[in-house]
Amino acid sequence: MKIKEFIGSRLALHVVSVFVLLCGAQGAAFGQGHGGGPGGTVGGGGGGDISGGAGVSIRSSSTPSARRNVRRGTRRRPPATASNTTRPQQPTGPSADDLNKQGDALFQAKQYDRAAEIYQRLVRVTPDDSEAWFDLGNALYNAERYQEAVPAYQKATQLDPQWELAHYYLGDAYHALKRYREAASSYIDAVKIKPDYQEALRALGSTLNELEMYTDAIPILNKAVSLNPNDDDAQFSLGNSYYNSKQYAQSIGPYQQAARISPKWATAHWYLADAYYNVGRKQEALKEYIQAGDLYTEAKRFEEGRKVYQMALQINPESGDAQLGMGNTYYNDGDYASSIQYYQSAARVSPRWATAHWYLGDAYFNLRRYEQAADAYERAAQLQPNNAEIRYMRGRTFVALGNRQGAMAEYNVLRTLDADKANKLYAMINNQQEEENHPVRMKAHK
């Protein structure tokens, strides 16, 4: 048997043993069929089976760094043994306690490389102290020195085999190195020690997703969410497990929970939209794609925003919200010319939507196409005559066109709507103030 096949079979047996531990005899049929989609790229995210083709985009789970920024758990001393009850005497230099305090202070100050140097000195002084090795692993992990963190965590687990947290953190170090099988084995060791270890169960399920063992991950992640229903990562990973095993209907609930717990998580909304689409709930999919696009735009992740708005437009090319959102991704990225066609489309499909005309005016203004900007602002002002921002931009356009009379008319209207904007416009009319940049365009649903 090849080494890789041997490791794979051992991992499958480990997973079965965990399932039996969690669920009893019901785990007899567990592990049959590791349902991965035939296409897609691990970690690529999004897209789903929206085109109706055979392929399903593979859903990657969150990484350990996303789950936790600080690699430090509850401190504890190793069990007393003949080898660790007595510390070696130090003829010179700081004591073990002093080194421990120095390392802790540097760690808390987030000076992880320096903390690692101190903890390395500490483990030379107290080589049988599992906590010292554990602290060294934490410092190296936070310094993103994952390869070096592995042996430190391994030593901690060797010295204290029943310390579930050390096994868990060792798994995270392997995960950061994309050594997913070894990560899964470490997480399994943690769960064997503590069967209700929710974080380790979540990490194990997420890692099984990385290994495309989706059906195996499902019961593990179901256990994780039962222990903590408000764990958004666990809910999201469970949704991925169902989705990647083509159980689209079952993926909806976990994705909904992830989006509920973390409403600003754009990718949760995106994946929920894909699930809705694949079960024929297209209007709900449309809403979630637009929500995801808005959130990506707000986070200045414009390429991802365009992808999901495009999916929305595949469902309904006449969606004014999706057209406006697409325009915003280009406008906020400084590509005013490309934004125009989408703002025009939004204004065409929703002719009484003032915001569409307003944003179209802004795009023209930034391209110094002032006559077209004036026309767009005029229409927007007709629809929302008391919108101070529209009146202000219309006044600025008149200034750029050299139309003092038109600019003063907007100034007089602004005096009753927004005194600050009125004063700014008046200064521009009299050449006393430089032009200012436009604000970032976010969502503006009807």
Q: Return the CATH fold of 77-161.
A: 1.25.40
Quote the pLDDT of residue 437.
57
**Radius of gyration (Cα) for the chain, nearest Å?**
29
Domain 302-446 sits in CATH at: 1.25.40.10
Quote the pLDDT of residue 431.
85
Write the pLDDT tens digit of every residue in 12-36.
Answer: 555 555 555 555 433 333 232 222 2
CATH architecture of 1-61+163-260: Alpha Horseshoe (1.25)
Quote the pLDDT of residue 34.
23
Q: Range(s) for CATH 1.25.40.10 in the chain?
A: 1-61+163-260, 77-161, 302-446
pLDDT in tens, the chain (446 residues): 333 343 444 555 555 555 555 554 333 332 322 222 222 222 333 333 333 332 334 555 554 433 333 444 444 444 434 444 444 545 467 899 999 999 999 999 999 999 999 999 999 999 999 999 999 999 999 999 999 999 999 999 999 999 999 999 999 999 999 999 999 999 999 999 999 999 999 999 999 999 999 999 999 999 999 999 999 999 999 999 999 999 999 999 999 999 999 999 999 999 999 999 999 999 999 999 999 999 999 999 999 999 999 999 999 999 999 999 999 999 999 999 999 999 999 999 999 999 999 999 999 999 999 999 999 999 999 999 999 999 999 999 999 999 999 999 999 999 999 999 999 999 999 985 555 556 556 665 55
pTM of the model: 0.80
Quote the pLDDT of residue 87.
47
